[in-house]
Amino acid sequence: MTTDWRQVDTGWGRAAADFATLSEPANCREYTAMHHRLRIDDGDRLLDIACGAGLALELAALRGAGCAGIDASPRLVAVARDRSPQADIRVGDMTDLPWPDGSFDVATSFRGIWGTTEAAVAELYRVLRPGGRAGITVWGHLKLSPGAWALAPFRLAAPPALAHQAAMVALGRPGVGEELLTRHGFIDVRRVDVPFAWEFPDPGGYARALASTGPAYEAIQHVGETAFHDAARAAAAERVRAGLPLRALIAVTGFLAVKP
């Protein structure tokens, strides 16, 4: 667990190519659904906050947006720049965005802004122009998600890291995200269900994909790489279906809002 953005790359960046190719592509339903709801179109100036390896930016550019992004992990940003050389993608902290007020028509963040990163909401608001649209996603009700098993190995992290993870996902609880966005000046705040399904070829593929994420690193620090992979493969082995990929449907909540 870290609260210093400069340390984020230790976990999130250490397997950047794995994350970009084995984990992130399964988020495409989420990106596409939010871009559609935000009506991303030709000429929109779009910022993606905590852009990771930049697949969402690449997809927004296909809709005609001029793209910018920021992430704390230099190794994920390197992938994002490789994918979108024309975009303005920076390494930095979402609570101190390096763009002037009113720079963007649209700002997104996919599971990047959490209950623990309230200052990022103030920055999101600042860099939007009046009338600008915001769309952020967070994990929804995980315990009720059929694919909750796919996140279970994260619980191997040490108790302080687990407590931090729980505080992060609090934003998805009823009324919490709405209150936060309204308090920061947003209007027309709406909660939407966002489609989200992770898919993997087999338990080994799932374990490798999951191990490339930041929360997995917290678990690996606590129990070691071998125990993490063993637990992940065991969780997935029970879900194997002949001839079909492993599929984990997970509840994701989206918030849409407008800067007046």
Ligand X SMILES: C[S@@+](CC[C@H](N)C(=O)[O-])C[C@H]1O[C@@H](n2cnc3c(N)ncnc32)[C@H](O)[C@@H]1O
Instruction: Tell me the per-residue interface mask from 18 to 57 with ligand X, x by CB under 6 A, - otherwise.
Output: ------x--x----------------------xxx---x-
Minimal distance in Å, beta carbon 122 to ligand X? Answer: 13
Task: Give 21 or 230: the residue with its C-beta nearer to ligand X.
Answer: 21
Q: Which of 110, 196, 206, 255 binds ligand X (CB under 6 A)?
A: 110
Which class for 244: exposed (0-12), middle (13-18), buried (19 or more C-beta within 10 A)? exposed
Number of residues that bind ligand X (CB under 6 A): 19
CA–CA gap between residue 109 and residue 117 (Å, rounded): 12
Is residue 228 part of the contact set for ligand X (CB under 6 A)? no
Which class for 96: exposed (0-12), middle (13-18), buried (19 or more C-beta within 10 A)? exposed
Q: Which of 26, 47, 94, 252 binds ligand X (CB under 6 A)?
A: 94
Task: Give 5 or 149: the residue with its C-beta nearer to ligand X.
Answer: 5
Is residue 164 part of the contact set for ligand X (CB under 6 A)? no
Task: Give 98 or 245: the residue with its C-beta nearer to ligand X.
Answer: 98
CA distances 87 to 13, 70, 128, 207, Å, are: 20, 11, 18, 32
Token duo for residue 23: 């984990």
Nearest-5° angle of CA 32, CA 166, CA 13? 60
Q: CB-hemisphere CA count at 13 Å for 105?
A: 15
Q: Which of 44, 93, 123, 218 binds ligand X (CB under 6 A)?
A: 93
Is residue 153 part of the contact set for ligand X (CB under 6 A)? no
Contacting positions for ligand X (CB under 6 A): 5, 8, 12, 24, 27, 50-52, 56, 70-73, 76, 93-94, 110-112
